[in-house]
Amino acid sequence: MMLAEPFLTSHLRTLSVLVVHLLLTDICRGQLIGASQPIVATLGDDIILPCHLEPAEDVTEMTLEWSRPDLIPRFVYVWRSGLELEGKKHKTFQGRTTLFTEELQHGNISLRLNRVKLSDKGTYSCYIPTLEKQTNVQLVVGAASPPVISLAGINGHTGGVVLQCESAGWYPEPEVLWLDAEGNLLSAGPTETVRGPDDLYTVSSRVTVEKKHGNKFTCRVQQNNINQTRDTWIHVPDDFFIIPYSSAVPIIVGLSVSLVVCIMLILASGFFLWRKNRTKTKRTLDKTEKEEKNCCETEAEMLMSHEVVEMQDLGEKDPINQHMVHDGIQMDQEAVEEELTGNQAAGSQTIWDLLSAVNPFKGNQAEQQKKEEAEDEVASLKKKLDDLSAEVEIKNKQLKDAQEEANRRWKEVNDIQRESRTKLLEKDAEISKLRRQLDKKIWEEKQKNGKDLKELDGSKSEDVDHQIESRQQSSRSSDHHSDLRDIILDEVHHQGKYLRLKNTSTEEKLLGGCKLELHINNRELCTYTFDQSFKVKAGGEITLWCADYGHHDPAISNLVWKDLKPLKRGDLLQFILFNQTGEFKGVNFHTEQISSATGKEDDRLHPEQ
């Protein structure tokens, strides 16, 4: 039992050490760090999805994967064995995703996504299979565009101006706000929203504004999820604001009605007074005329009775003259009737004179003055009514002209805004087209540069290999040249027709680039340079012939030395052989040392020290 406890304790310690070792190993291999917050991108932008290894580690030769789980295939970018696997990625990301390859050695695996689309939104996974490390990055895609404000009309009841704000090309759906010059919210109608086939939203809103300080009004379209806000403001001239119908018309109508009522009351009062005075005057006239008639009748009766009495007396006294009297009476009666008629006419004239005297408008100065004042007041009120009617007519005409002018300006402004909006849309389309062309050209240039870079890398690699090989050859050549003691001057013709060199070593020697100099009597110089690829086999010989001589010997390498000149006995000769590193080997001798029979040296030549 006691032996089992130490054994168990030992195993537990070993297991603990292994667990700690595994944890330390996992920690030391690092962690993938992505983005703590969602990445917000605008439609058409180029963005970077961050992902890096901490602590930094070279991942150039590892397999790196960027993917989105909701796609089939799910890969957005794949890097394996130092190359991008273009065929593995989803077709919608072809030519739009790249890594910063020069940063891979520092553990930076961030993905660059060009020309962002609405369909790019989602969660992306950065994964290193070798290290079994993974992190996620969320991408939120939005679209925004500036709003356009236009004049929609004029509200005749309130005198306000109706403004319309419209903005197209938003994602997600935004909200529309109206603000005055002080930044206060204005009460507007409901926002109209339309979603197009490209999933972009178009919003519009209307508001009726009244004349305020500055007359500056702002339309704000915002989307809080993507932190996008676009503002556009407009200044409405004072001339666009009119007096509302509801306030002007009642005042004018009320004044007109009041004036008409006053005139009618005045006319009614005047008519009542005139009628009353006329009745009183008629009564007086009738009474006077009746009294005058009675008086005239009494006088006529008295006169007639008196004449009748006289006629009766005459008839009784003188019957003969009765007829004459009767004629006289008849004449007198006619005269009386004429006089009565004259008296009646005079009485009528007197009655009219009395009527004139009794008439209150002519006889009574106070009543006449009141009548004139009433007539003057009626005329004045009538004139005021005419003036007010004319003024109302002028105001109506001015109001109509102002409405026509406002409508004309509104139409002009709308035409200008419509034209500006059309031009703006055309320019936006041109910019988008140029941007796509530029992006395509940049992508093509990038592909071409990548291809050229690969070719350049291959060419550089070949150049490096060639340089290494050249250096190796130079090194080998240098090694061969440095050992000039194995190359000796084996034979010189006594007349200088040729000379022979020999390789006394057991290895092949490279004489490419070596130079052989012959100094005659320290005055004349003959020089020969070997070709770069010229070699001498182990134990082989080289014969250098004068230009006028030469024999073909397959066993011996025969070369022509154009500068070699014939020699004379007694000449002092000095041979020097230089290699490419500047080392040399030389020998001095006289032609007397050369055998006339064999032409060989009496003694072996050795390099000068």
Peptide bond into 55 cis (omega under 30): yes
pLDDT tens, residue by residue, 235-280? 888 777 766 655 555 666 667 777 777 888 888 887 777 777 777 7
Instruction: Dump strand ranges (E) for 87-227.
Output: 97-99, 111-113, 122-128, 133-142, 148-154, 161-170, 175-179, 192-195, 201-209, 216-223
Q: Which whole number is the average pLDDT over 127-133?
A: 90
Identify residue 184 by its one-letter amino acid code: N
Instruction: Please report how the helices 245-317 and 365-482 are oriented relative to each other, as an axis angle in degrees rounded to 10.
Output: 160
Q: Which whole number is the average pLDDT over 533-545?
A: 83
**H or E stretch at 32:** strand 31-33
The percent of residues in the chain predicted with pLDDT above 90, rounded, is 16
Nearest of 349, 579, 377 to residue 484 by alpha carbon: 579
Taking a C-beta distance cutoff of 8 angstroms, is the pair 241, 211 a contact?
Answer: yes
Peptide bond into 172 cis (omega under 30): yes
Residue 226 pLDDT > 50, yes or no? yes
pLDDT (0 to 100) of residue 602: 40
Q: Which whole number is the average pLDDT over 180-206?
A: 90
pLDDT tens, residue by residue, 428-450? 788 878 887 887 788 778 777 87
Q: How confident is the model at residue 166 (pLDDT cuts 50, 70, 90)?
A: very high
Taking a C-beta distance cutoff of 8 angstroms, is the pair 487, 501 a contact?
Answer: yes
pLDDT tens, residue by residue, 350-407? 444 544 444 444 455 777 777 788 888 888 888 888 888 888 888 888 888 887 887 7
pLDDT (0 to 100) of residue 364: 59
pLDDT tens, residue by residue, 549-601? 665 454 556 787 777 777 777 778 888 888 777 677 776 666 555 543 333 44
Taking a C-beta distance cutoff of 8 angstroms, is the pair 535, 509 a contact?
Answer: yes
Taking a C-beta distance cutoff of 8 angstroms, is the pair 109, 59 a contact?
Answer: yes
Taking a C-beta distance cutoff of 8 angstroms, is the pair 167, 148 a contact?
Answer: yes
pLDDT tens, residue by residue, 10-47? 555 666 655 544 554 444 457 889 888 899 998 888 99
Q: List the beta bridge partners of residue 209.
A: 161
pTM of the model: 0.39
Q: Which residue has the higher pLDDT, 119 or 551?
A: 119
Taking a C-beta distance cutoff of 8 angstroms, is the pair 181, 212 a contact?
Answer: yes
Q: Which whole number is the average pLDDT over 476-502?
A: 70
The region of weakest confidence among 77-81, 155-159, 182-186 is: 155-159
Length of the chain: 609
pLDDT (0 to 100) of residue 317: 47
